[in-house]
Amino acid sequence: MMLFLIMLFTDLFMVGICFYSYGKLTLYRDHMLLGVHIPEDKLELPSVTALITSYKNQNRHFYLVHVIVGSAVSLLAFWYTSILIICWTGWLIAFFYGIFSNLYRTHRMLYSLKTENGWYEDLGEPFTAAADTSVSAPARRLTPPLWLQFLPLLFFLIPVLFPSIRELIFQHSEIQLPIGLRSTFSTLLTGFSSVF
């Protein structure tokens, strides 16, 4: 029962988040509609509104179908977990493929519409964009030094390089490691110790 609730919540949450994220692409922001730069006066043309309306309707039906299919796949939790995982993975691949194929297809149709009609805004004289080095210079100072990034590797290599510390870890009961981590850690240390 718990696995069913987890899978159901995950599926519904994922479908809702994707619907909320990709549903806003039909809003005109930063002179773009579905990732295509279009002049604002062309938004009310019948060809553009028909394309956007069709995309919204397809999205609405697509997400409704996947809410139902995702919920149905979650019911497999009452049968075999292995079959649940296989079917859920297939559903997840189909879900994301459907999202991006629909978005890409509509984007290409809108871009073709733009190029066929020559909807390019007049940008005036060409200009050169330059990087603001005075702003980007302090950001480079915020990265941690290289030696600090190797600190976790150093903590792992100390027991490998010093057998007395390794024996101390495995002989004293005060140092508690979880059973799975203890066997993994001992296997790794034994393998690395044989190299050194």
11/91 Cα distance (integer angstroms): 10
pLDDT of residue 31: 78
36/108 Cα distance (integer angstroms): 9
Q: How many residues does the chain have?
A: 196
Instruction: Single out the residue of 107, 118, 115 nearest to residue 35, CA to CA.
Output: 107
Is pTM beyond 0.85? Reply is no
99/62 Cα distance (integer angstroms): 8
pLDDT of residue 123: 45
CB 38 within 8 A of CB 115: no
Q: How many other β-carbons are positioned within 10 Å of the β-carbon of residue 3? A: 13
CB 63 within 8 A of CB 15: yes
pLDDT digits (tens, 9 = 90+) for 140-177: 556 667 777 777 777 777 776 777 776 776 676 555 55
CB 189 within 8 A of CB 160: yes
